[in-house]
A and B are shown apart, each in its own frame.
Chain A
């Protein structure tokens, strides 16, 4: 496990609460005035050169949003958000849409370089090269052998570039920004946008529907196995700006795609809002694997600043034998409110949720999943590992339900929480609902601390305390880490180590 060693190195190098991605970039921006009104929405829609139907869709959502109240059921606590004090659109000047790499502002390219995100097509992500001690790593067979990753880079409100588009197009795969898709592929967008997360869904999703500015669009046609990993990197840079991205992924019959998402933001004293919506649609025999490493700025050691991450992610296993798998590593954000879910509509469909949520400092995490079993012989699996340290609150909230007609629904849930220190909290709130006599649900949850016996044993082998804890924690989350594509697995292990920095007393 090379990452353990690296984690420790990394931890040693940085000071307490230093956030590696906290730098700000000075780039000339084109912004909407602060505030939210129909005018703002018309402004965004016009900036994007959207067709009339899209504007109407947004306005419908906005009118609906005005009637909604902010949800309060999650175990998160934050001052009331002034939705009129936010810029809803901010884009680098002269960058209203994605273009080819050589046209992108060199300053922007530098940002992504600094973040370690490869935008040059010949490059591959750091860590992709197979480790020389491959014999030691039994993890991960489902890595794309090519090691290449196509990237859509979203900077504040716009996608600045999407790589490998031509090669993907040759395979029939559409990978572009959602803004481009609305213009270039209106039929697909009309058919699927809002079909999983309707504009009426919930407060933040409805807000997103009204004001979303960019995001990624993926369409994998029938029978196509997407030839490389697709990924989007979201970067919030501008002050007082909300990021509202919208992602839509469609896998036609028998298609397969693996998609990765990463996020970072500068270190600021004010809180910033990020309210995304992700919709996945898997038709018959299709499979979508969606991985996230969420590393928004979490706020400083006193709990000042940080991103409010209010996200609605939902996958619809619309076709028979379809499969959707969510894997998330959540280490960032001041507040996380996020429940990537699966609607198991097709017969024999399968949903999976693998999650690691690490909280430290004053972070608040309320995250989990919903597995809604509707079709026959559907199955789902939930593995959640929560680690709370510092003064943080870490809640798993999940729902598993089998409806009347969901014959032979199966679920297995395992959620374990680890507490590091006695000032934090770990909470587990599962909702288990069975309305079919042939349903079989198994749920288990544990909460404990790292056992002194384990720590002593590891230290007796000569491994110092911090490393010993990192080793045990990495073991604790291993089941989830191995679900990640290789390049993210290495990154994720490092991140977990960094996130827990300073928590070991």
Chain B
């Protein structure tokens, strides 16, 4: 299906992207097989950016919303950040470029993605996942760098690994393939931030071996005039467990896609996320979860706070395939709308082809509970403080489910920071 064949004219952004491809292709790493993939991706882009008529983009009309397409600026400078968690091995991608100075961690092998693009070994991974995969297409066409992380079987990695993708106002496109061996355990932090009105795309691909356990934390706090398009992909091996946490706390146009497949029996996926939406941000989190094997479980809990003129979106689709009997999947999305100019749209979908399952979702949009507010005020707390406390508690509940104290503390500190500037 050609998704926008009927569109007569390209938008400025579409034109800018196609021009950027022409000017950048010669300096992008990789040739031969990689270039074929880039060209394929470009074909998807040529058909036009997705509009709201494309179901996966129902609430985020990318064609209309993507207006600024800056050029990549090789001379711009981005600085490495201090790690979210103490003792992390940090892998920075600064203004789209990885560092040759790779950390040394027992049981882990790091590679610069640029090298894997140059030698062509990464070409197969540049496949676009369908015509509505605009982020995949954009990234495949332009990806220049990132890191490959390979964790050997049975390794229990004590130090968190932090992937930093820091833009500097221009256009950057990075990838982070991560392979976790059988029974290995690791915590991975992904930071998406920067300075300036950049356009940044980032794709991570995580594969979990049998019995592997991963906690993956995404913290996105891009500046208020930037565009960030992210995609997290994971394939869960037999009896493996993935907990994914995300916090969106910035950016003007943000889309975070989460695509997870329970490829192994007995695997378990946990998603916890908070969206802190202020100003005139448009932030969209879209999850597609495929239960493709029997006896798998998943829980998703998303909480959103909307202030200012912010617009938020959560789309979550749980597909239970016919052989995925005994699936146990539950999803919840709760929103506090704090401003009359803000809005939030939710589309929690269940698509179920197996009968012996327990699946459900819940979604609420609410005000702050008046009884709670009254109770706090009756204890002498002023209205503003009381509201702040309740909103923070609403979000902190999600963070606290991660249970690991230093991680909870670090994330709550980010939460406090956001409230200090937007509360």
User: In their complex, do chains A and B touch, with some C-beta pair under 8 Å?
Assistant: yes
- A contacts, CB < 8 Å to B: 73, 402, 404, 417, 419-449
Closest A-chain residue to B358, C-beta based?
A: A448
Which residues on A sit within 8 Å (CB–CB) of B346?
A: 430-433, 443
Which residues on A sit within 8 Å (CB–CB) of B353?
A: 422, 424-425
A98 to B345, CA, bound (A): 48
A430 touches B355 (CB 8 A): no
A442 touches B364 (CB 8 A): yes
A447 touches B343 (CB 8 A): no
Q: B342 at interface (Cβ–Cβ under 8 A)?
A: yes
A237 to B109, CA, bound (A): 73
Which residues on B sit within 8 Å (CB–CB) of A433?
A: 343-346
In-complex Cβ contact of B359 among A420, A442, A447 (8 A):
A447
Chain B, range 315-363, C-beta contacts under 8 Å to A:
322, 325, 335, 337-340, 342-363
Which residues on B sit within 8 Å (CB–CB) of A446?
A: 358-360
Most chain A beta-carbon neighbours within 10 Å: one of B340, B343, B356, B367 = B343
B350 touches A439 (CB 8 A): no
A444 touches B343 (CB 8 A): no
In-complex Cβ contact of A448 among B359, B363, B366 (8 A):
B359
* Known contacts A431-B345, A431-B347, A433-B343: A449-B365 contact under CB 8 Å: no
In-complex Cβ contact of A437 among B337, B349, B354, B355 (8 A):
B337
**Least Cβ–Cβ distance between A449 and chain B, in angstroms:** 5
A428 touches B338 (CB 8 A): no
Q: Name the interface size band of chain B.
A: 35 or more
* Extra pairs beyond A419-B357, A421-B355, A441-B364 (10, CB < 8 Å): A417-B350, A419-B355, A422-B355, A423-B322, A427-B352, A431-B58, A435-B343, A441-B363, A445-B362, A449-B355
Q: B55 at interface (Cβ–Cβ under 8 A)?
A: yes
B348 touches A443 (CB 8 A): yes
B347 touches A445 (CB 8 A): no
* Known contacts A422-B355, A447-B357: A436-B348 contact under CB 8 Å: no
- What are 29 A-B contacts defined by CB distance under 8 Å? A402-B365, A417-B352, A419-B352, A419-B357, A422-B322, A427-B351, A430-B348, A430-B349, A430-B363, A431-B345, A431-B346, A432-B347, A432-B363, A432-B365, A434-B365, A436-B337, A436-B340, A439-B365, A440-B367, A441-B363, A441-B366, A442-B362, A443-B348, A444-B360, A445-B362, A447-B352, A448-B357, A448-B359, A449-B356
* Known contacts A419-B355, A434-B337: A428-B361 contact under CB 8 Å: yes
**Least Cβ–Cβ distance between A199 and chain B, in angstroms:** 22
Closest B-chain residue to A421, C-beta based?
A: B355
A62 to B355, CA, bound (A): 44
A425 to B337, CA, bound (A): 34
Closest B-chain residue to A428, C-beta based?
A: B350
Closest A-chain residue to B6, C-beta based?
A: A69
Chain B, range 199-220, C-beta contacts under 8 Å to A:
none
Most chain B beta-carbon neighbours within 10 Å: one of A421, A438, A445, A449 = A445
A445 to B353, CA, bound (A): 16
Q: Which 6 A-B pairs have the closest CB atoms?
A: A419-B355, A446-B360, A435-B343, A437-B337, A434-B365, A428-B350
A420 to B356, CA, bound (A): 9
In-complex Cβ contact of A445 among B357, B360, B367 (8 A):
B360
Which residues on B sit within 8 Å (CB–CB) of A402?
A: 365
Which residues on A sit within 8 Å (CB–CB) of B338?
A: 437
A434 touches B355 (CB 8 A): no
A73 to B338, CA, bound (A): 33
Which residues on B sit within 8 Å (CB–CB) of A419?
A: 352, 354-355, 357
Which residues on A sit within 8 Å (CB–CB) of B339?
A: 437
Which residues on B sit within 8 Å (CB–CB) of A449?
A: 355-357
**Least Cβ–Cβ distance between B51 and chain A, in angstroms:** 13
In-complex Cβ contact of A422 among B55, B345, B354, B363 (8 A):
B354
Most chain A beta-carbon neighbours within 10 Å: one of B338, B339, B364 = B364
Most chain B beta-carbon neighbours within 10 Å: one of A404, A420, A432, A433 = A432
Write the B352-386 contact mask toward A (1 if CB under 8 angstroms, else 0): 11111111111111110000000000000000000
In-complex Cβ contact of B356 among A422, A429, A438 (8 A):
A422
Which residues on B sit within 8 Å (CB–CB) of A439?
A: 337, 365
A446 to B322, CA, bound (A): 17
* Known contacts A420-B355, A434-B335, A434-B345: A447-B364 contact under CB 8 Å: no
A440 to B367, CA, bound (A): 7
**Least Cβ–Cβ distance between B235 and chain A, in angstroms:** 24
Which residues on B sit within 8 Å (CB–CB) of A440?
A: 364-367
Closest A-chain residue to B351, C-beta based?
A: A427
In-complex Cβ contact of B348 among A421, A437, A445, A447 (8 A):
A445
Write the B297-329 contact mask toward A (1 if CB under 8 angstroms, else 0): 000000000000000000000000010010000
**Least Cβ–Cβ distance between A73 and chain B, in angstroms:** 7
Closest A-chain residue to B323, C-beta based?
A: A422
Closest B-chain residue to A423, C-beta based?
A: B322
Which residues on B sit within 8 Å (CB–CB) of A431?
A: 58, 345-347
Which residues on B sit within 8 Å (CB–CB) of A434?
A: 335, 337, 343-345, 365
**Least Cβ–Cβ distance between A221 and chain B, in angstroms:** 39
Most chain B beta-carbon neighbours within 10 Å: one of A420, A423, A435, A442 = A435
Which residues on B sit within 8 Å (CB–CB) of A444?
A: 360-363
Which residues on A sit within 8 Å (CB–CB) of B356?
A: 422, 449
A429 to B58, CA, bound (A): 12
A448 to B344, CA, bound (A): 29
A33 to B358, CA, bound (A): 52
Closest B-chain residue to A450, C-beta based?
A: B355
Write the B219-246 contact mask toward A (1 if CB under 8 angstroms, else 0): 0000000000000000000000000000
